[in-house]
Amino acid sequence: MLSRVRSAVAHLVRSPPAGAGSGSGAPAKTVDPRASFSRPTFLQLSPGGLRRANDHAGRAVQSPPDTGRHLPWSTGYAEVINAGKSRHNEDQACCEVVYVEGRRSVTGAPKELSRGQSLFFFLTYLSLFLHQGLCFYYWGLFDGHAGGGAAEMASRLLHRHIREQLKDLVEILQDPSPPPLCLSSTPGASGSSDPSHLVGPQSCWSSQKEVTHESLVVGAIENAFQLMDEQMARERRGHQVEGGCCALVVIYLLGKVYVANAGDSRAIIVRNGEIIPMSREFTPETERQRLQLLGFLKPELLGGEFTHLEFPRRIQPKELGQRMLYRDQNMTGWAYKKIELEDLRFPLVCGEGKKARVMATIGVTRGLGDHNLKVCSSTLPIKPFLSCFPEVQVYDLTQYEHCPDDVLVLGTDGLWDVTSDREVAATVDRVLSAYEPNDSSRYKALAQALVLGARGAPRYRGWRLPNNKLGSGDDISVFVIPLEGQAVT
Amino acid sequence: MLSRVRSAVAHLVRSPPAGAGSGSGAPAKTVDPRASFSRPTFLQLSPGGLRRANDHAGRAVQSPPDTGRHLPWSTGYAEVINAGKSRHNEDQACCEVVYVEGRRSVTGAPKELSRGQSLFFFLTYLSLFLHQGLCFYYWGLFDGHAGGGAAEMASRLLHRHIREQLKDLVEILQDPSPPPLCLSSTPGASGSSDPSHLVGPQSCWSSQKEVTHESLVVGAIENAFQLMDEQMARERRGHQVEGGCCALVVIYLLGKVYVANAGDSRAIIVRNGEIIPMSREFTPETERQRLQLLGFLKPELLGGEFTHLEFPRRIQPKELGQRMLYRDQNMTGWAYKKIELEDLRFPLVCGEGKKARVMATIGVTRGLGDHNLKVCSSTLPIKPFLSCFPEVQVYDLTQYEHCPDDVLVLGTDGLWDVTSDREVAATVDRVLSAYEPNDSSRYKALAQALVLGARGAPRYRGWRLPNNKLGSGDDISVFVIPLEGQAVT
């Protein structure tokens, strides 16, 4: 995330005195603010590789080594990190297989399998059979801004929060009957209703809402994001959690793929050449109406400095009394209004495309962290306008026959800023057709090709793409997850 | 709208003393609270026809007469009104051709044309040429609840509000260059910016937002809905505007069809057998998160009687301390929470499907009116949770080659409650293929067939559909608008 938060605000992330306790009860260790430049452990970077990653001039594409080790599902991964330019612009990634027991659990690093996955599946399900637990596969991309702390912390801990949330559901998810609405400690407590104290007519309660297993997993993921964000808020009192991060997370559990997104990373499925979007971006443009509604209902959050109205350009004081186009929180169209004094305030949402900003500062509206983020030259906090909740889309892997070329592609905005969905699908076709279907290194090659295609090559005046446009100068991280033969219900 | 507002609340719509002035400045006359049962003028109902419309037992299907008169575009219309059962459940409809001049305008009732529309078009465009004005076609369905006043008033006045909003845009919309962002009274006022008093970084303003002509029309429609709603609030002080109404409105202007919807009426295009949804329904279920967010941010609106949390069923006091499924305003999934005292309050949003309610009272969340609507046995107003803003979808008529069987179908929920999109498309095919393509009565026949198909026939224990399910006991109103040969840019 090169330009998502204006560099001017980096220094505004206040550093509280170190040394206070974490006060956590959280499931994992606290972040170390002095942690040096770090990359995902599954990359298994040598000291030389770590140096290359940290070298902005070289912009090396890094992937896990070819020494017979694979990520689960033969997942492909590649990245280019421009940390040499700024240590505050860091993508982080995570790939885990996580076991969940009712109230005990074990987190495992990705298993090392030289061939196939049958042994792995056997061991996994033997473990589940013995422990009556659950297992989920997990991939996460975390695109940091205004500091690397939040992305680093999320990459280490978010899946643990998800595991904690799923612990209560282990038995429920394995039972095909509908989930209990109330977990009762006294038998028969979920019987007929007692309407004596109700304030209104009751007929809308004549039936219970149907709650699916799937919606419990979605709720668990949503709560895990919130708890991760709250942990960042707590930990900043002790150790500085720098900045914030977008989070794009994929979970495979009991036959279904859950794609949870908070920010402007993106996921698509390419299936038989067809493109299926699996996420939406959350930016000042896509969330304009939510932001404006909040500013309208809670004007104190605007600090007398901003107006919740949107204008197509900055109003000049001399235009007072003239009529300007505007949009209010309820509107998708534009209309003219007479310019009043309040309209000369800076708009809560301004700019468009990659330059769109909330409070002239931040270009993403969902994510984790950012608890210290303030408006430049002001003490006005921006966090109230940011949501830590992801949107979760579900894909039922058992509903389709997949072929070896069907993949789920995750990428940070470094990829998508310069690559269209169609270009990704074309690269999927081009690269995978050059490998045997059973060659498990093909997905890594595809991830590398996607990162290379977005980075470009050094040419006259910077890194250029084959069409001579500038390549992405941002961090670029890509997971390629093959979908064939993975569904186990 | 048979069951949208619980009958228990009808008496809660307080009647202020009659006789006070309208205090309007509004573009048209005020509503008469003593108005007797009324139907759209374009139906040209005889006293006998009006009696038939008012007879619930007979449930006659009514359409404009066959005496050589047509609605614009040979629009088909049919309705069944169950006003004999309750005078508070009344659909209303409107169909107009509206002329807009820069600051003068004329509203015309639909022209009477015995054959074709060439004379009409000639006169229309001669008028436009002479006056340099605009002309729009307008169709509206207004499904009332808890009183017929709002629907009746909206059917008479909403298009006039739209005309007023468009008056400022007459010249702008006829000029192909981008709309001016600022209507300046002093030449050159829209020059370079003066950033001296800006509070934050300015680079997000490096470009102006592009504003399209289309978005100006959308903004005009949105503002017209708001002004209509405000007029209802004003007029209730003088004359009682009873209840509220859903509003589904179609405007054809300069080659584009604008479908504006606030409520649970629906519009679809059937084009070459393909179904294109042109509206979304706004109900407690589809707008749950907006409603919950409002209750969360403004808890005073809940009056200590409601909780903004959603539960899948009513919680019993004896379940206090146990763990119940819930959804918060940020969640789409469900999670368990320990039941606290506040959770025993009635949920802001409860029930599902047609039984979903806001504050146990109303089943639609957008529309006009309802300014007096209170929670049953309480003084708590519901209006703050209702939005008068429509969602506007745009369809460019010039972008497609249409055939005589391509139609836009508008229906109140009386149609859609018992008829699927596919069934409507099948009826379109069945009815229109039985008529010559140039027989302009075919669209009326189609509207009648759709209403008949939703009403059913009297059989054992009520009105039944051919599949023996109960027909719709609600008001049913349908417009069928043919799309071929209408686009004039």
A379 touches chain B (CB under 8 A): no
Contact assessment for residue A412 and residue A91, using Cβ atoms and an 8 Å cutoff: yes
Q: In sequence order, what are the residues at sequence separation of 6 or more whose Cβ sits closer than 8 angstroms to the Cβ of residue B11?
A: none
Q: How many residues does chain A have?
A: 489
The residue behind tokens 């139609």 is B407
Residue B211: the pLDDT is 93
Contact assessment for residue B279 and residue B259, using Cβ atoms and an 8 Å cutoff: yes
Show me where the domains of chain A are located.
288-363
Report the distance separating Cα A338 and Cα B335, nearest Å.
Answer: 47
Instruction: Say whether pLDDT at A100 is over 70.
Output: yes
Which residue of chain A comes nearest to B322, CA vs CA? Answer: A184
Contacts B8 to A, Cβ<8 Å: 201
What is the arithmetic mean of pLDDT over A306-327? 94
Q: What are phi and psi of B53, to 5 degrees?
A: -60, -35
Report the distance separating Cα B309 and Cα B338, nearest Å.
Answer: 13
Q: In sequence order, what are the residues at sequence separation of 6 or more whose Cβ sits closer than 8 angstroms to the Cβ of residue A147?
A: A10, A13, A88, A241, A242, A243, A244
Q: DSSP label at B107?
A: E
Q: DSSP label at A90?
A: -
Report the distance separating Cα A247 and Cα A390, nearest Å.
Answer: 8
Report the distance separating Cα A209 and Cα A59, nearest Å.
Answer: 53
H or E element in which residue A416 lies = helix A413-416
Contacts B168 to A, Cβ<8 Å: 336
Residue A86: the pLDDT is 66
B165 touches chain A (CB under 8 A): yes
Distances (CA, A) of A180 to A176, A187, A214, B194: 11, 13, 14, 62
B289 touches chain A (CB under 8 A): no
Instruction: Say whether pLDDT at A130 is over 80.
Output: no
CA distance B229 to chain A (A): 14
Instruction: Say whether pLDDT at A207 is over 70.
Output: no
Residue B11: the pLDDT is 34
Question: What is the sign of the dihedral through the CA atoms of B165, B166, B170 and B174?
Answer: positive
Contact assessment for residue B247 and residue B154, using Cβ atoms and an 8 Å cutoff: yes
The predicted-structure confidence for A368-389, as pLDDT tens digits, reads as follows 999 999 998 889 999 999 999 9
Question: What is the sign of the dihedral through the CA atoms of B242, B248, B252 and B258?
Answer: positive
Report the distance separating Cα B198 and Cα A316, nearest Å.
Answer: 10
Residue B419: HSE in the Cβ half-sphere, 13 Å Cα cutoff = 34
What is the DSSP pairing of strand A462-464 with strand A391-396? unpaired
Contacts B171 to A, Cβ<8 Å: none
Whole-model pTM: value is 0.84
- At A343, the amino acid letter reads D
Q: In sequence order, what are the residues at sequence separation of 6 or more whose Cβ sits closer than 8 angstroms to the Cβ of residue A478?
A: A76, A77, A78, A79, A409, A410, A411, A412, A415, A447, A450, A451
A206 touches chain B (CB under 8 A): yes
pLDDT in 10s for each residue of chain B, 489 residues: 545 565 433 333 233 333 333 333 333 333 444 446 788 989 988 888 888 888 878 889 999 987 656 799 999 999 998 766 666 668 999 999 999 987 633 444 444 444 445 555 555 556 555 557 899 999 999 999 988 899 999 999 999 999 999 999 999 999 999 998 888 654 433 333 332 222 234 455 556 788 999 999 999 999 999 999 999 999 876 666 789 999 999 999 999 999 999 999 999 999 999 999 999 999 999 999 999 999 999 999 999 999 999 999 889 999 999 999 999 999 999 999 999 999 999 999 998 888 899 999 999 999 999 999 999 888 999 999 999 999 999 999 999 999 999 999 999 999 999 999 999 999 999 999 999 999 989 999 999 999 999 999 988 778 999 888 999 988 999 999 999 987 654
- Cβ-Cβ pairs closer than 8 A, A with B, add up to 261
**Closest Cα partner for A231 from A172, A156, A282?**
A156
Instruction: Say whether pLDDT at A413 is over 50.
Output: yes
Report the distance separating Cα A288 and Cα B109, nearest Å.
Answer: 40
Confidence class for position A57, pLDDT limits 50, 70, 90: confident
For every residue of B65-87, DSSP letters joined together read -SSS---GGG-EEEEE--TTT-T
Residue A56: the pLDDT is 79
B198 touches chain A (CB under 8 A): yes
Report the distance separating Cα A229 and Cα A247, nearest Å.
Answer: 11
CA distance B219 to chain A (A): 4
The residue behind tokens 């206070």 is A20
What percentage of chain A carries pLDDT values higher than 70?
78
Contact assessment for residue A262 and residue A368, using Cβ atoms and an 8 Å cutoff: yes
What is the arithmetic mean of pLDDT over A397-407? 95
Residue with the larger pLDDT of the pair A33 and A317: A317
Contacts B179 to A, Cβ<8 Å: 325, 334
**Closest Cα partner for B44 from B20, B12, B70?**
B70
For every residue of B140-198, DSSP letters joined together read EEEEEESSSHHHHHHHHHHHHHHHHHHHTTHHHHHS-SPPPSEE-SSTTTT-S--GGG-
Q: DSSP label at A86?
A: -
Report the distance separating Cα A481 and Cα A249, nearest Å.
Answer: 12
Q: Which two tokens stand for residue A405?
A: 């070329």
CB contact under 8 A, B351 and A199: no
User: Of the candidates B183, B193, B199, which has its C-beta nearest A377's C-beta?
Assistant: B199
Report the distance separating Cα B269 and Cα B252, nearest Å.
Answer: 14
Q: What are phi and psi of A388, to 5 degrees?
A: -90, 0
Contact assessment for residue B264 and residue B287, using Cβ atoms and an 8 Å cutoff: no
Residue A354: the pLDDT is 85
Residue with the larger pLDDT of the pair A23 and B162: B162
Contact assessment for residue B80 and residue B62, using Cβ atoms and an 8 Å cutoff: yes
CB contact under 8 A, A182 and B324: yes
Q: What are phi and psi of A164, to 5 degrees?
A: -60, -40
Specify which residues A97 forms β-bridges with.
A108, A137
Confidence class for position A55, pLDDT limits 50, 70, 90: confident
ipTM > 0.95 (yes/no)? no
Residue A377: the pLDDT is 85
For every residue of A308-376, DSSP letters joined together read SSB-SSPPPGGGTTSEEEEB-TT-SS-EEEE--GGGGSEESEE--GGG-EETTTBS-SB-EE-TT-B-T
Of chain A residues 209-248, which have a CB less than 8 A from chain B?
209-211, 214-223, 226
Neighbours of A262 (CB within 10 A): 28
Residue B431: the pLDDT is 98
Query: Strand, helix or coil at A488?
Result: coil
B305 touches chain A (CB under 8 A): yes
C-alpha of B347 from chain center: 27
Residue with the larger pLDDT of the pair A90 and A255: A255
Report the distance separating Cα B289 and Cα B282, nearest Å.
Answer: 12
CB contact under 8 A, B217 and A8: no
CB contact under 8 A, B199 and A375: yes
C-alpha of B450 from chain center: 19
Report the distance separating Cα A40 and Cα A229, nearest Å.
Answer: 21
- At B472, the amino acid letter reads S
Residue A110: the pLDDT is 45
**Closest Cα partner for A172 from A134, A146, A208, A143?**
A134
Phi-psi region of B462 (alpha: psi -120 to 50; beta: other; left: phi over 0): left
Query: Strand, helix or coil at B18?
Result: coil
For every residue of A280-297, DSSP letters joined together read ----TTTTHHHHHHHHHH
What is the DSSP pairing of strand B306-307 with strand B346-347? parallel
Report the distance separating Cα B369 and Cα B367, nearest Å.
Answer: 7
